[in-house]
Amino acid sequence: MAGRSGRIRSREQKIILLVLAVVIVALLWNFLGVILRLILFAAVVYLVYRLLQSWT
């Protein structure tokens, strides 16, 4: 019986760790998406600025 409950506990622990990993990755993915959008926005603003600067 002790071995069986140990396996169940181990399985529960693996499931908890998997759920925790999914939550962490989801949060980081959202954070990385925001950072990438800000970088893209800054790059486009810079390109438009350089384009306007070349016309003057």
Query: For the segment 12-54, what is each residue's pLDDT rounded down to a tens digit?
Result: 999 999 999 999 998 888 888 899 999 999 999 999 999 999 9
Q: What pLDDT shows up at residue 5? A: 62
What is the pTM assigned to this prediction?
0.56
- Phi, psi (rounded to 5 degrees) for 5: -65, -30
Q: What pLDDT shows up at residue 13? A: 92
Could you list the residue range(s) of the whole structural domain that residue 29 is in?
Answer: 1-56
Query: What is the number of structural domains in the chain?
Result: 1
For residue 56, the SS3 value is: coil
